A and B are shown apart, each in its own frame.
Chain A
């Protein structure tokens, strides 16, 4: 069985630098926002170091301000239910005992999951761990800098920093769908589902609902996609 190898980790670290920069910017705003809401400096930094999850941390921060602790924790947990989906996807590619694999899976974050995805459908765990290392460091560092310096939301907006995350996700997505029409179809469907759900519910639920688009994978694989398209258009024109 393939073990965790240094070259893969190094490759992952290199790939992870870009998203790590994005994570730093997002962590800045998390640290600043948490400090502004009276969380102090130690708790946000510790929370970032241990939870290492932007979506859950922001959800808890926002939900705690307007509701009960139980509801806030439940929202934050639900927004991260996608990690359960990803973890199941990853399981076949992890190494060693169950505990060892559960530990390796802690490196799971969105961008690393995408980098670890190989063309054959399996996942490169070395790359997953490597890519998460710089993201974790800059996520924690960004939270500390944000809590200490408290940059205003207006400044972050004027600098265009809200573009950072969606831009990275789009670039990663373009790379993912470049070689697979099925992935493109699933992504488009996922985007539409997320957009539709956004009209009626919160982003966390919309994101979770969008993962249903991966069920496109249940459709039988009828050889290469271009052939299928050719056959269909041929039928229409004849």
Chain B
């Protein structure tokens, strides 16, 4: 019961967070400076997600290597899924070799 209530609470809070823009802002428009900030939220968030995913626990060089390879493949214009697959294969391969 305790777990169910906790899950329900998190779900409701999550709905409210996602609805926060319309609920708080209503019909008001953001001023130009705020629009410039807002347009930077996506890249900043992605950078933060990468860092917290890679550094959230103990650093794992095989994981970082695979992610790096996926990034390099993407810069070389390799399509998204193939680039990600390349990184996964590299990491799995290295782990296999290292035992």
Which residues from chain A sit less than 8 Å from chain B, CB to CB?
17-18, 21-22, 39, 43, 46-47, 50-53, 56-57, 60, 64, 69, 72-73, 76-77, 80-92, 94, 98-99, 101-103, 105-106, 108, 110, 113-114, 117, 121, 157-177, 180, 182-184, 186-191, 193-195, 198, 203, 206-207, 210-211, 213-218, 221
Please list the 7 inter-chain residue pairs (A to B) with the smallest Cβ-Cβ separation, ordered nearest first. Answer: A210-B48, A87-B21, A160-B92, A91-B21, A217-B36, A160-B91, A217-B37
Task: Report yes or no: A83 in contact with B18, Cβ–Cβ below 8 A.
Answer: yes
Q: Within B11-52, which residues are at the interface with A (CB < 8 Å)?
A: 11, 13-15, 17-27, 29-30, 33-52
The residues of B that contact A198 with a CB separation of less than 8 Å are 51-52, 55-56
Task: Report yes or no: B7 in contact with A51, Cβ–Cβ below 8 A.
Answer: yes
The residues of A that contact B91 with a CB separation of less than 8 Å are 160, 162-163
Residue of chain B at shortest CB distance from A82: B45
Which residues from chain B sit less than 8 Å from chain A, CB to CB?
2-7, 9-11, 13-15, 17-27, 29-30, 33-56, 60, 62-63, 66-67, 70-71, 74-75, 80-81, 83-84, 87-93, 95-96
A22 CB, min distance to chain B CBs, angstroms:
7
Other 20 A-B pairs with CB < 8 A, given A22-B84, A110-B45: A46-B7, A53-B14, A60-B6, A76-B13, A80-B17, A82-B45, A83-B14, A87-B21, A89-B39, A117-B39, A167-B70, A170-B67, A171-B83, A173-B46, A187-B47, A195-B55, A206-B48, A210-B47, A211-B44, A217-B37
Give Cα A88 to B37, complex, Å: 11
Give Cα A112 to B95, complex, Å: 32
The residues of A that contact B41 with a CB separation of less than 8 Å are 85-86, 89, 211, 214
Task: Report yes or no: B38 in contact with A88, Cβ–Cβ below 8 A.
Answer: yes
Task: Report yes or no: B21 in contact with A89, Cβ–Cβ below 8 A.
Answer: yes
Task: Report yes or no: A169 in contact with B92, Cβ–Cβ below 8 A.
Answer: no
The residues of B that contact A166 with a CB separation of less than 8 Å are 49-50, 53-54, 63, 67
A60 CB, min distance to chain B CBs, angstroms:
5
Give Cα A191 to B49, complex, Å: 8
The residues of A that contact B20 with a CB separation of less than 8 Å are 83-84, 87-88, 105
The residues of A that contact B95 with a CB separation of less than 8 Å are 157-158, 160
The residues of A that contact B13 with a CB separation of less than 8 Å are 73, 76-77, 80
With A50-B11, A87-B18 in contact, is A169–B36 under 8 Å at CB?
no
Task: Report yes or no: A210 in contact with B21, Cβ–Cβ below 8 A.
Answer: no
Give Cα A68 to B27, complex, Å: 39
A177 interface neighbour in B25, B43, B84, Cβ under 8 Å: B43
The residues of A that contact B93 with a CB separation of less than 8 Å are 160
Give Cα A173 to B14, complex, Å: 24
A163 interface neighbour in B14, B26, B52, B67, Cβ under 8 Å: B67
The residues of A that contact B22 with a CB separation of less than 8 Å are 87, 91, 94, 98-99, 101-102, 105
Instruction: Provide a sorted-by-A list of 12 A–B residue pairs whose CB atoms are within 8 angstroms.
Output: A21-B81, A51-B7, A88-B30, A105-B18, A106-B15, A108-B18, A114-B45, A163-B70, A163-B84, A163-B87, A171-B71, A214-B37
